[in-house]
Structure 1
């Protein structure tokens, strides 16, 4: 009966962590979305000069970057197919950091920061406040209560 009115410490910590994950999704997803929107707006100008580290052509490289930065970041923000949406985002930031900027922090600092944050969020998952949680739920984890106290 006590748990019906008061959160246990574990539940409270999970809720706080989920708020933190939501804040990270909104912040970093919103920032990447802004980059994608700017690329959409300047598509015709950028398509002739956009870096082509994969050798597929500037237009296709730009289209892939827009997909990752605009479409996937929207799904990322909502927590919809979270880890699947992170794959193109992580790939794009890895290509930007190593392929375009040559692994240089001085030139590719932003891509590196995005890459690290996205990898850490891949590991953590979307949290409780996500569409994935609503659609798929969460499997009950084994309770090793003697290890959690």
Structure 2
């Protein structure tokens, strides 16, 4: 059922949910900082930002900001968690596999770390301490009436 995918309600232990919350906060804020830097320097970056998808530098930059800044907020609070993670994972994948494809690993190591963490977090789900968990429980209660 689509509810379980978007708003998981399977019980996680409190320790696991606290761990997932901590990872969401830490990595969400770290990625959000990259988006904030891009957003604050939009004018300068929009002329030189890489355009790996052929959409133009300003649009590519805007999509990177969306993936890094806006989606990080949903990731942190656990709102539309897995949907928010798709642009995050895509943005980091493009950075790792396309933008830094020919760079030495030390240059693309941070993108690799983000990618691995975000894929694992996508699989794990947001945990009990998320808006999606609350919404999922409310949907179940509503459907039982």
- Give the TM-score normalised by the residue count of structure 2: 0.84
The 2-side partners of 1:83 and 1:34 are apart by 20
| Structure 2 residue 127 is the aligned partner of structure 1 residue 118 | no
Instruction: Kindly report structure 1 stretches of 4+ aligned residues shifted beyond 4 Å.
Output: none
The 2-side partners of 1:101 and 1:133 are apart by 36
Alignment of 1:1-149 (within 5 A): 14-102=13-101, 104-137=104-137
The 1-side partners of 2:58 and 2:112 are apart by 23
- CA displacement 1:6-34 (0-9 Å, x = unmatched): xxxxx8x7110000000000000000111
Q: Report the alpha carbon displacement of residue 105 of structure 1 after superposing the two structures with TM.
A: 2.0
- Give the TM-score normalised by the residue count of structure 1: 0.82
By relative contact order (CA 8 Å, sep 6+), the higher-ranking structure is: 2
The 2-side partners of 1:114 and 1:105 are apart by 14
- CA displacement 1:85-109 (0-9 Å, x = unmatched): 0000000000000110006522211
Partner-residue secondary structure (3-state), 1:48: helix
Which is greater in Rg? Answer: 1
- CA displacement 1:14-61 (0-9 Å, x = unmatched): 110000000000000000111111111000000011111111111111
Unaligned runs of 5+ in 1: 1-10, 140-149
Aligned Cα RMSD in Å?
1.6
> 1:143 corresponds to which residue?
none
The number of residue pairs the alignment matches comes to: 128
